[in-house]
Structure 1
Amino acid sequence: MFLNIDKLIFLFFLVVIMITGLFYGRKIYSTKEYALGGRNFSTSTIVTTLIATWISSRFFLHDFYHIYPENILFTLSGIFGDLLSWLVICYIIAPRMGEFLGSLSIADSMGKIYGNKVRFLIAIISSTTCICKIAIQFKLSAIILQLFFENSSFYTALASSIVIITYSSLGGIKATTFTDVIQLKIAIFWVIIPIIIFFIWHSSLESQIAFFQFSEKSIFDYQQFVNSDYSQLWVSFTIFLYFIIPTFSPATFQKITIAKNTLQVADSFFFASFTRLLISITFLGILFLFLASKPDLEFTSNIISYVIDNDLYIGLKGIIACGIIAMIMSNTDSYLNAATIIFSYDLRKSLGLKALKRNLIFTYFCAFSIGIFALVMAFQITDIWQLILLVNSFYIPLVTTPFLLTVFGFRSNYKSIIAGMIISFITIIIGHLQNDSILDIILYGILVNLVMIVLIHYLLNMTKGFVGVKDNRHLQYLKNYRQRRFIFFKQLISNFNFLNFCQANSPKDEVTYTIFGVFSSCFIIITIYTIPLNIKNEYLTIHKILYDLVFILSGIFLTYQMWLPGLKNKNFIAILWLFGLFYSLVFISCLQVIISDCDQLTTIIFIINLTLVAILAHWQLAIFIIITGVICSIEFYKFFVCNHLQQQCTININIIYIITLIIAIIISFLRPKQRQLIIANLARKFLNEKIQHRNEELQKLYELKNELIRNLNHEIHTPVTGIVSLGHSLLVSYDILTEQQRLSVIKDIAVSSDRLESLVNNLLDLSKLTSLSYILNIEKINLAKLIYERINIIKKLYPEKGRKPIFLIDVTPVYIYGDHYYIRQAIDNILSNAIIYGKGKPISITLEYSEDTALITIYDQGIGIPKNEIYDIFGVFNVSSRTKTPAGGRGVGLALCKKVVEVHGGKIKVENNLDGGATFSIALPLRHF
């Protein structure tokens, strides 16, 4: 095999992946760590590994390879069905999976509930599925590398397979996960971006026109779906049903079980869903545009061959090969790791074999054996897509179905699970013998297994059944969150006031109106003098009417600052401001681009105006104004000026390019900036309130200090002098004094002592904040609403390592009577402590009530409180030994909480949790006290 630049690049890529995998996979000491990696992965890492696993397993083999030649609707059915399956996991399934997190595999999670017999069957099916998927990926890599390196493809494919087997076998889930991150970055920067640049470089007006011609081909013809027998429509529907089912493949389940909690699972699938949708649409759009310019090419393999042979020069070919193989490797190592755990742990445990002393070495041996076996199997595969469907036709009905039943709270005896699996297996075999469609076989197998498990359970009168979710904290939180969002949007719609909306989105200072008026005037003057004379004469009426309105608006904004106070109206200028953004900056500017046939200067002015809209308005409002303004401008031109706009495809495409660019800028740059500004304003308001509260406390303490100093001579000197002088006199004259005289002196000393003790007690009371005079402003408080408000603010003000803290909220609407300001201070102090010392773990908050008491419970999983300090934690200037810092601490936060609760007639207590952290409970009376 002779080396060239492309092969050297590919070999360098393999070396980097090998080193990365072995580096991140070191220091593994147990099978659990090999499978779960400590479960301390970030959400972005899980999102990346989900995308990396999907981009090879389904995107390459389905979206980009198989269905396209049939019909475009088949492809879209698969894409959107797959997208919805992940959204189903995000919103419906993930909140119910709390008890399954931390399981080593899907066989392990089912075995814990139904026993070793069910574990054994699922382990056999899962391991077979994994081996076939690994072999398929090895075969796919060989096919791709054959296109790039021709005669040397065997050696490059063998080298890439050995690299995958080595780092995945020795590194476990850590190596698999972190190499997925590297592989996805390589796929994006070495494949996706070069292809997009290649497409843009070769795009032209001819290719755009060709795309419109290409879109009229039969694959885009929707009428063929409504033929007499609706056969193709049924095929599309079955494809959609197949992809919408969450398969929970062994590799996907592993990405779920390594998460910290179900909220992280839901977030990961949510972000991954729309990322994969963007990737799919991008690739398919490029594919269709490329095929439009090359009508002789019909299949993806021909496209790849054509691009490699005609458009890739030396060096770029190796880079593209690395990117594609990176996508394939990210799927292969996931299935190899899952298969290893199933063989080394689940099969051993289900057969009743004891754990080996060197169990990790046995795990390594299983991993290498599975990888080598799959590599040998890969050279025997002839039809990749049919093998995928064949494997899934057994896995989805036999494993996914009972697992989903279990997730939704169904519990039964192992006998009903095994019986349903056997009957479903027989149904699948019969379907294959009759040469039924694989998609039909899968759907029938699912239905049979589902019905038989439930039917056998209730016919044999087995215990349990649908018992619900075991760990429902996150599920309850999600229900409350959805209910709260529904109420919020309902109130938002019912309480919407257009005038308030306009005022909220208008400038706070009048100078901005003047500057905007100057800009609008300059813009319209420049536009008028740069339009060619023939266009002016052709559209003279439009220019006169529409441009006059721009001048009127500009004049109003320009002179508004000089209007008499009696003439100024905030509602009027706020409405006019939003109309001016819409009309002057978007509508007129876009219309000018259309009329001038995308003249360079008018296009530049259009881009500047859209950018100005994004700066002057909130990003959501800016996007709405831009889109509606452009649509209105186009429709106005078509209706009043010319009805042949559809022939000017260049104008349409250019405007779409510009709008897409501006919206991308708004979302990517201005949205985070505006969000940071809102958070900064909230923080400023929050800190100002705290400063005001501290100033009030300092003022009271200052007054107390002055009073103490003023009375110091009388309150301290007098009793001390009495005690000292009388005591000295008694000592000197004791023998000459009568009993009655001695008793009188002792009585005077006692009186002075009592007076001094009273003063000391007052000072102690001062140190306990009891000397602060709390003046309560009693009002009716919606406690549930107050908790939600404080959480929304607190979690923005106390980000934990760059991300928002997680709150699990279960509150019941409760009203109490008290001081809103001080109750809020107490809640803020406890929440901030829970975040600061909570180790980034979820914080549970509940609110419930009895006949006369509202009970707030705040549960964290942080560092807790030492037992010998738990009774003193509410004392003034007392700081837990676990939270002390070299800078010291004031220790008044919890003391203030206690004082606030007590003056409201309530009680506060704290307890350590058995699993770490602490639980604060606040009981407040419901009555008006």
Structure 2
Amino acid sequence: MALDISLLLLVIFLLFTLIMFFCSLKKKVTNFREHAVGHRQFSTAAVVATIIAVYCPGGLLRASITEAPTGGWPIAHRIIIALFPLLILSWLAGRMSKFIYNLSMPETMGNVYGSYARFVTALFEVCNAIIIVSLQIRMISEATSLFITSVSPLAITILITIVLIVYAMFGGVRAITFTDVWQCIIFSTLIIILAGVILKKTGKSPLEIIHFLQTQNQFQLHHIMPSHQKVPNTLRYLSTLFIALSPYLVQNVYVCHSPAQARKAFLYASIFSSILIGCIILVGLFVFAWLPHLPSHNIWPQFLAHASPLVKGMVCIIILSFAMSTVDSRLHVASIMLAYDIPKSIRLLKKRLHAYQFRMARIILLALALLTMVLAFNCSLRTLLQGLIWYGRLYVPTILAPFILAVLGFRTTSSAAAIGMTTGLLAVFVWQKWLAPIVGTNSGHVPCMLMNGLAMLTTHYLRATMPKGPATKKILDPLKPKSQPHAVKTNRQN
């Protein structure tokens, strides 16, 4: 009976996802810009739902249940990463008026720092998307194998991936937004229901659960920031704060019709995601209060063993809706960068592939989906997670400082940007080899990022103070039209 309920819920969920895709086809996608960012007429609520849907990965619910017995550190980590990165992006989005008509974050980097910065930014996001999508497909396969054993997990995973490919390829960002809104409604509703059901299963009132948690040593406040590990824990918190500021999230700025709308969307998304993560944390705490004597590595299978068929079905749909909404957006962003940003960064491909961007984006999305499926079923989980860890270590020190400085109005030459990015990259390896054993943590993302920004600023102002000679080039604003002096002269003549 449990298998029938889970399979039925899955079929209904996929059918409604396809219905949302067909509803999005009322406005036909005719060119690459519409495919990439739509008609820029999305409501703020739709953009908020898209941000939440892509921001919450498929393993979020399982991680919350598994980490609940370990105490206050994972709870504080979840709350910080749910709130503060989106608040930072809300602040930055309000200052992106010069970049609002770009198609991606690499294009913004290219407008300010040149093709080298654009290529590196796009390459980072493509690699990150491949790893994340592979992990999410693996999560889909594991979820279906746990809850729907009457059908081959591989067959169901392939079916779900085909549904994703169809609406992402042929509907573009509009179809992805429509389906993300639907998936956001589904997992938000089911998480609240699941929290209520598990609270009832515990047989305790909320006050009794609070009293029970107060008696557990791991939930004391000193476990959030131990006094003997303040520096390592502070660096870990800062690392998680900045890793989340990735190009796939910045992409949501470019679908908005104005910086004001983007600022509001990220602000509302930070509030809503905090509430959502709070509910997921409550689910984990309720499961811990229900099964208090189990170790963290054993609590997930025991939870499933004690869960009713309906609860299993809800958990399955929550995991699938999280994973699907992450996969479609990440594949879409990566295909845009491979079809648009990387060719634009390479002089030989810049003109030849311009006319085929729309077709290339669809083909690349299909190729990425197939590649990630191969990696998901052939690479070990440890390998994928190690790749994700190294992405964070390299991305934050290399890309984030130039991007934040560009949004805040800093302008310099492409060579100064290259020096800063190279300095940040080298600082990562210096930190890993010499400083990590001293400090006690590998989370040197923020210090290395600051080294990047400091190198850029130093190079820029040293060149500005150098005596100008015949070979010295002026540092121009990359966003300033080169024909402006001529225009001024013409106006004076008139």
TM-score (norm 2): 0.84
Deviation at 1:204, TM superposition (A): 3.6
Structure 1 residues 270, 102: closer, same or farther in 2, change over 3 A? same
Question: Is the Cα–Cα contact under 8 Å of residues 122 and 342 in structure 2 kept in the other structure?
Answer: yes
CA distance in 1, matches of 2:28, 2:206: 54
**How many residue pairs align between the two structures?**
461
Deviation at 1:125, TM superposition (A): 1.6
Structure 1 residues 58, 468: closer, same or farther in 2, change over 3 A? farther
Structure 1 residues 469, 24: closer, same or farther in 2, change over 3 A? same
Name 1:36's counterpart in structure 2. 37
Question: Is the Cα–Cα contact under 8 Å of residues 49 and 184 in structure 2 kept in the other structure?
Answer: yes
From 286, 301, 310, the equivalent of 1:305 is 301
Question: Is the Cα–Cα contact under 8 Å of residues 107 and 123 in structure 1 kept in the other structure?
Answer: yes
Q: How does 1:290-689 map to 2 (within 5 A)?
A: 290-299=287-296, 302-313=298-309, 316-352=311-347, 353=349, 354=351, 355=353, 357-379=355-377, 380-383=379-382, 385-432=385-432, 436=436, 440-461=443-464
* Cα-to-partner distance string for 1:72-117 (whole Å, 9 max, x where unaligned): 1343144135412322332x32221111112111111111222222
Q: How does 1:645-794 map to 2 (within 5 A)?
A: none
Aligned to 1:100, what secondary structure does the other structure show?
coil
* Cα-to-partner distance string for 1:271-290 (whole Å, 9 max, x where unaligned): 11111111122221232132
* Cα-to-partner distance string for 1:165-194 (whole Å, 9 max, x where unaligned): 2321222111111110011111123x2132
Aligned to 2:98, what secondary structure does the other structure show?
helix
Structure 1 residues 440, 307: closer, same or farther in 2, change over 3 A? closer
Deviation at 1:199, TM superposition (A): 2.9
Structure 1 residues 417, 263: closer, same or farther in 2, change over 3 A? same
Residue type of the partner of 1:7? L
Aligned to 1:460, what secondary structure does the other structure show?
helix
Question: Is the Cα–Cα contact under 8 Å of residues 129 and 395 in structure 1 kept in the other structure?
Answer: no
Percent of residue pairs bearing the same amino acid type? 23
CA distance in 2, matches of 1:393, 1:215: 36
Structure 1 residues 184, 160: closer, same or farther in 2, change over 3 A? same
Aligned to 2:94, what secondary structure does the other structure show?
helix
CA distance in 1, matches of 2:409, 2:478: 4
1:85 aligns with 2:85: yes
Structure 1 residues 44, 374: closer, same or farther in 2, change over 3 A? same
Residue type of the partner of 1:142? S
Q: How does 1:60-75 map to 2 (within 5 A)?
A: 60=61, 64=64, 68=68, 70-75=70-75
CA distance in 1, matches of 2:392, 2:39: 30
Deviation at 1:457, TM superposition (A): 1.5
Question: Is the Cα–Cα contact under 8 Å of residues 65 and 287 in structure 2 kept in the other structure?
Answer: no
Question: Is the Cα–Cα contact under 8 Å of residues 72 and 220 in structure 1 kept in the other structure?
Answer: yes
Name 1:47's counterpart in structure 2. 48
Aligned to 1:96, what secondary structure does the other structure show?
coil
Deviation at 1:412, TM superposition (A): 0.5
CA distance in 1, matches of 2:201, 2:254: 45
CA distance in 2, matches of 1:439, 1:66: 24
* Cα-to-partner distance string for 1:373-410 (whole Å, 9 max, x where unaligned): 11111221413654433222222222222111100111
Deviation at 1:463, TM superposition (A): 5.2
Structure 1 residues 278, 319: closer, same or farther in 2, change over 3 A? closer
1:280 aligns with 2:277: yes
Structure 1 residues 80, 292: closer, same or farther in 2, change over 3 A? same
Structure 1 residues 150, 306: closer, same or farther in 2, change over 3 A? farther
CA distance in 2, matches of 1:407, 1:432: 29
CA distance in 1, matches of 2:137, 2:293: 30
Name 1:249's counterpart in structure 2. 246
Larger relative contact order (C-alpha < 8 A, sep ≥ 6)? 2
* Cα-to-partner distance string for 1:173-222 (whole Å, 9 max, x where unaligned): 11111110011111123x21321330343354478535423332231133
CA distance in 1, matches of 2:256, 2:59: 23
* Cα-to-partner distance string for 1:137-172 (whole Å, 9 max, x where unaligned): 212222333332357333222322232223212221
Name 1:76's counterpart in structure 2. 76
**Stretch deviating more after TM superposition (258-267 or 72-81):** 72-81
1:20 aligns with 2:20: yes
Question: Is the Cα–Cα contact under 8 Å of residues 247 and 396 in structure 1 kept in the other structure?
Answer: no
RMSD, matched Cα: 3.0
Deviation at 1:356, TM superposition (A): 5.0
CA distance in 1, matches of 2:65, 2:434: 27
Question: Is the Cα–Cα contact under 8 Å of residues 85 and 245 in structure 2 kept in the other structure?
Answer: no
Structure 1 residues 86, 223: closer, same or farther in 2, change over 3 A? closer
Deviation at 1:415, TM superposition (A): 0.5
Residue type of the partner of 1:344? A
Aligned to 1:297, what secondary structure does the other structure show?
coil
* Cα-to-partner distance string for 1:8-46 (whole Å, 9 max, x where unaligned): 431332233234335425621111111110110000101
Name 1:106's counterpart in structure 2. 105
CA distance in 1, matches of 2:47, 2:28: 21
Name 1:95's counterpart in structure 2. 94
**Structure number having the greater helix percentage:** 2
Question: Is the Cα–Cα contact under 8 Å of residues 81 and 241 in structure 1 kept in the other structure?
Answer: no
Question: Is the Cα–Cα contact under 8 Å of residues 138 and 378 in structure 1 kept in the other structure?
Answer: yes
Residue type of the partner of 1:265? A
Question: Is the Cα–Cα contact under 8 Å of residues 210 and 293 in structure 1 kept in the other structure?
Answer: no
Residue type of the partner of 1:370? L
CA distance in 2, matches of 1:260, 1:356: 25
Deviation at 1:52, TM superposition (A): 1.2
CA distance in 1, matches of 2:431, 2:373: 30
Residue type of the partner of 1:259? C
CA distance in 2, matches of 1:279, 1:286: 11
Structure 1 residues 186, 192: closer, same or farther in 2, change over 3 A? same
CA distance in 2, matches of 1:172, 1:435: 45
Structure 1 residues 60, 237: closer, same or farther in 2, change over 3 A? farther
Deviation at 1:255, TM superposition (A): 0.9
Question: Is the Cα–Cα contact under 8 Å of residues 393 and 438 in structure 1 kept in the other structure?
Answer: no
Deviation at 1:343, TM superposition (A): 0.3
1:259 aligns with 2:256: yes
Question: Is the Cα–Cα contact under 8 Å of residues 65 and 288 in structure 2 kept in the other structure?
Answer: no
Name 1:742's counterpart in structure 2. none
1:116 aligns with 2:115: yes
Question: Is the Cα–Cα contact under 8 Å of residues 113 and 478 in structure 2 kept in the other structure?
Answer: no
Residue type of the partner of 1:411? R
* Cα-to-partner distance string for 1:585-621 (whole Å, 9 max, x where unaligned): xxxxxxxxxxxxxxxxxxxxxxxxxxxxxxxxxxxxx
Deviation at 1:70, TM superposition (A): 4.3
CA distance in 1, matches of 2:243, 2:265: 15
Q: Any stretches of 5+ residues in structure 2 without a counterpart?
A: 465-472, 481-494
CA distance in 2, matches of 1:5, 1:58: 22
CA distance in 1, matches of 2:12, 2:78: 36
Q: How does 1:829-844 map to 2 (within 5 A)?
A: none
Higher alpha-carbon Rg: 1
* Cα-to-partner distance string for 1:342-368 (whole Å, 9 max, x where unaligned): 000111111132235443222211110
TM-score (norm 1): 0.46
Residue type of the partner of 1:289? F
* Cα-to-partner distance string for 1:490-532 (whole Å, 9 max, x where unaligned): xxxxxxxxxxxxxxxxxxxxxxxxxxxxxxxxxxxxxxxxxxx
Q: Any stretches of 5+ residues in structure 1 without a counterpart?
A: 471-929
* Cα-to-partner distance string for 1:516-557 (whole Å, 9 max, x where unaligned): xxxxxxxxxxxxxxxxxxxxxxxxxxxxxxxxxxxxxxxxxx
Name 2:286's counterpart in structure 1. 289
Deviation at 1:244, TM superposition (A): 3.1
